[in-house]
Amino acid sequence: MENDMSSDPPQACASGAAIRPPEMRRRDFLNIAPVAAAGTGAVIALWPLIDSMNPSAEVLAQSSTDVDLASVEAGQRITVNWRGQPVFIARRTGEEIARARADDANSSLIDPQTDAERVQRDPWLIVIGVCTHLGCVPLGQSPGDPRGRYGGWFCPCHGSVYDASGRVRRGPAPRNLAVPPYAFRGDSIVHIGQ
């Protein structure tokens, strides 16, 4: 007869399922409890790090901005700050709009988009004023700034040229000036952001 070192065989309950001996349940608890405590401790220790990744109140305040366009005259361009980036707002003249639309079908566009895809309401063009090549701020907001051959913006860093619709016409910039999310609220207020 062999010497059996195991504990008593499990007993069956009324439903027929085996009941594990009490020492097995205690052993399971002794294995699970430290793991649960360690997991809880890790979450408590990491919470300040996770919470620090949330945007600050200052950033949340800049997540959207309202701009009154009533005082902007035809042909004038203004710059506002949104999320730490310059946003160019241009009240384009009829000539600038006609020139931008005439170039819609131009096959030499580096990043093809029509003027209508970039503008929600004429005569307003609203773009993020950061060159899509290396992040410089293009010239063209002030009346004396060089605007390039297409009457838009000129990036002095590496020579990218944008037209009056903010489309890149001469690179090295690979994409058009980005259009931020915006919506008009009434005739003269534009809400930039979500």
Contacts of 166 (CB under 8 A, 6+ apart): 88, 118, 125, 127, 152, 153, 176, 177, 179
Catalytic residue among 20, 121, 149, 158: 158
Six token digits for residue 105: 């079908």
What's the burial of 38, exposed, middle or buried (CB within 10 Å: 0-12/13-18/19+)?
exposed
- Tokens 């002030």 locate to 142
Contacts of 162 (CB under 8 A, 6+ apart): 138, 140, 148, 150, 152, 153, 154, 155, 168, 169, 173, 176, 177
| Residue 158 annotated in active site | yes
Contacts of 98 (CB under 8 A, 6+ apart): none
State phi, psi for 6 to the nearest 5 degrees. -75, 165
What's the burial of 21, exposed, middle or buried (CB within 10 Å: 0-12/13-18/19+)?
middle
Six token digits for residue 177: 């000036």
Name the residues annotated as catalytic.
158
